[in-house]
Amino acid sequence: MNMYTVPPPGIPGCPPGLEYLTQVDQLLIKQKVELIEALVGFESNNKYEVRNSLGQNVFYAVEENDCLSRQCCGPLRSFTIRVLDNYSNEIITVSRPLKCMSCCFPCCLQELEVQAPPGNTVGYVLQQWHPFSPKFIVQNENREPVLKINGPFCGWSCLPDVDFEILTMDEVSKIGKISKQWTGLLREIFTDTDNFGIQFPMDLDVKMKATMIGACFLIDFMFFETNNV
CB under 8 Å to 204, separation ≥6 — which residues?
175, 176
Q: What is the pLDDT of residue 45?
A: 81
Average pLDDT over residues 85-99: 91
Q: What is the pLDDT of residue 40?
A: 53
CB under 8 Å to 110, separation ≥6 — which residues?
96, 99, 101, 126, 127, 218, 222
Q: Which of 30-44, 66-80, 82-96, 189-203 has the highest mean pLDDT?
A: 82-96
Q: What is the pLDDT of residue 198?
A: 96
Q: What is the pLDDT of residue 61?
A: 96
Q: What is the pLDDT of residue 133?
A: 85
Q: What is the pLDDT of residue 74?
A: 57
Interstrand relation of 195-199 and 121-128 (parallel, antiparallel or unpaired): unpaired
Q: Confidence band (pLDDT; 50, 70, 90) for 89?
A: very high
pTM: 0.85
Residue 115 pLDDT > 60, yes or no?
Answer: yes
Q: What is the pLDDT of residue 73?
A: 58
Q: Which comes out higher in pLDDT, residue 184 or 150?
A: 150
CB under 8 Å to 219, separation ≥6 — which residues?
134, 149, 151, 155, 164, 178, 180, 196
